[in-house]
């Protein structure tokens, strides 16, 4: 393989990986921005998305329906969890949220084990995306291009949503000064439920999209939650743009790092995080530097 095709295909790989990381990081950072809580169950929502996606594909035979159903179901479940349980804890300190969301991870893991079993489940790539294209004579899976593209589309959509819609405005306002928004007559509690639901729904989309590449399996949650934390810490807690930059940075360093220095593959992500924490303790775009 020549240098140019290698570089191009690896960059595309990195973009597709960044897209998946972004779905996770973006949801987590939105939730943190509004609620000041760290959602430890984020990886479990990602995993739930993959399993729901598998079932939807199995029931309907249609990957696109799965892509719609999974975020709705996962997001709905997230919103219901916020309404039913998290809402009672806002007066308490951060530990309560950590315990409750960690507990939710365990419960979801066990429930998924009971419902879907212990075996990893394979999700078929839809026929339209299962082929390969030749990029400078190198085969490249269309599905990965689709992943990279969907990351860009979702990123732009969320950005426009935050900038241009009324709910987006409320979300931004709440993250800056919740009491003021409340005083102006908006039910901040509803905004919180909505954001928690949207954040979990994004993790759910990530889960469905990841499933054809990594299968739906019980190991997804712990792996995902660690990656997500790293991205959000790099980008800055609560920063939407930060989570995007964090995802890109981690993906590119990981793809090229593990190619040239495979023995250090696992360390790269943490090295970036450490470096950034030393230089900018609040993350790249974080406020509390």
Partner 1 sequence: MPGMHRRALLMSALASPVVLRHARGETPIKIGMPVALTGPAGEIGAQMRRGAEFWAKHTNAKGGLLGRPIELVIQDTGGDPASCVRKAQDVVERDGCRLLFGMTLSSEALAVVPKLAEWNAVFMSSDNGDGRLTGSSLVPNFFRANTSGPMGTRAVSLYLRQAQFKGFYAIGMDYAWGRNSIGVFKDEIQKAGQNFIGDVYSPIGTKDFSTYIAKIRQSGADACFIVMQGDDNAAFLSQAKQYRLPDKVQLLTEIVDLNSIAATGDASIGLIGSSRYSFTFPGAANAEFVEMWKKEYKTVPDTFEGEQWQAGQVLAAGIAAAGSIDAEKLRVALEHVEIDSIKGHVKIRACDHQGEQQGFMVKVVKKEGAAKPTPELIATFPADRVTPGCGKMTYDS
The binding site for partner 1 (CB under 8 A) comprises 1, 6, 9-10, 13, 16-17, 20, 113, 118-122, 124-125, 130, 132, 139-141, 143-144, 210, 212-215, 217, 219-220, 223, 254-256, 258-259, 262-263, 265-266
When the beta carbons of 54 and 81 are compared against partner 1, the nearer one is 54
Nearer to partner 1, 212 or 283 (CB): 212
Nearest Cα residue to 45 out of 177, 225, 213 = 225
> How far apart are CB 128 and partner 1 at their closest, in Å?
14
Q: Which two tokens stand for residue 141?
A: 């899976």
CA distance 24 to 31: 11
Q: How far is the CB of 222 from partner 1 (least distance, A)?
A: 8
Nearer to partner 1, 15 or 79 (CB): 15
Q: Report residue 53 as tokens.
A: 């996606």
Q: Are 32 and 232 in contact (CB under 8 A)?
A: yes
Shortest distance, position 35 Cβ to partner 1, whole Å: 28
Q: How far apart are the first and last CA of the chain?
A: 44
Smallest distance from the beta carbon of 17 to partner 1, in angstroms? 5
Q: For residue 123, how far is the Cα from the chain centroid? A: 19
Pick 16 or 239: Cβ nearer partner 1: 16
CA distance 249 to 55: 33
């Amino acid at each position: 393989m020549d240098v140019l095709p290698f570089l191009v295909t690896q960059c595309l790989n990195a973009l597709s990986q960044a897209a998946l990381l972004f779905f996770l990081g973006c949801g987590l950072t939105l939730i943190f921005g509004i609620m000041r809580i760290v959602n430890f169950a984020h990886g479990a929502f990602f995993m739930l998305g993959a399993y729901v996606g598998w079932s939807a594909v199995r029931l309907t035979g249609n990957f696109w329906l799965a892509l719609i159903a999974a975020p709705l179901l996962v997001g709905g479940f997230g919103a219901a969890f916020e309404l039913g349980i998290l809402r009672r804890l806002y007066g308490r300190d951060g530990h309560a949220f950590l315990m409750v969301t960690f507990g939710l991870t365990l419960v979801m893991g066990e429930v998924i084990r009971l419902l879907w079993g212990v075996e990893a489940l394979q999700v078929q790539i839809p026929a339209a995306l299962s082929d390969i294209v030749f990029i400078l004579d190198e085969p490249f899976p269309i599905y990965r291009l689709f992943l990279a593209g969907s990351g860009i589309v979702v990123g732009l959509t969320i950005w426009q949503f935050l900038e241009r819609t009324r709910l987006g405005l409320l979300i931004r306002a709440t993250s800056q000064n919740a009491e003021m928004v409340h005083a102006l007559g908006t039910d901040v509690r509803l905004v919180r439920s909505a954001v928690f639901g949207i954040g979990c729904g994004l993790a759910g989309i990530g889960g469905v999209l990841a499933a054809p590449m990594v299968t739906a399996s019980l190991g997804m949650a712990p792996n995902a939650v660690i990656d997500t934390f790293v991205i959000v810490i790099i980008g800055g807690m609560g920063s939407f743009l930060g989570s995007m930059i964090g995802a890109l940075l981690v993906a590119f360093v990981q793809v090229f790092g593990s190619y040239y220095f495979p023995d250090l593959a696992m360390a790269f992500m943490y090295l970036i995080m450490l470096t950034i924490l030393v230089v900018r303790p609040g993350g790249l775009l974080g406020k509390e530097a």
